Amino acid sequence: MDALKSKLQVPFPLFPDQKAELWMALGKPSTPTTVLTTSSGKVLMKHTGIILDLEAFLKEIGEIHKKQ
C-alpha cells in the first residue's frame, strides 16, 4: 500500500480492504466514494459519486474541519 500511495503521491491514508469489510460497514457504496474521518475512525462525512463542484466540496470539508 505504501508503494501505491507513493506512486500516486496522495497525501491521505489508503486502506486495503481485500475482504470488503470496510466497504460493507459503509453500506456498500458505489465508486467513487470519499469518506472523511477522524483519526479515531468517526465518520464526519461521506460523499458517493463524482464531485461535480470541487470548490463547494472543499468548502464543506473546511467547515467540518473548523468544528473539530
Domain-by-domain residue ranges, the chain? 2-67
pTM: 0.62
pLDDT tens readout for residues 7-30 = 878 777 777 888 999 889 888 988
**Residue 2 binned pLDDT confidence (cut-offs 50, 70, 90):** confident
Residue type at 63? E
What pLDDT score was predicted for residue 56? 93
pLDDT tens readout for residues 25-68 = 888 988 888 888 888 889 899 998 899 998 999 899 889 988 88
CA distances from 10 to 1, 24, 61 (A): 11, 24, 17
What pLDDT score was predicted for residue 60? 92
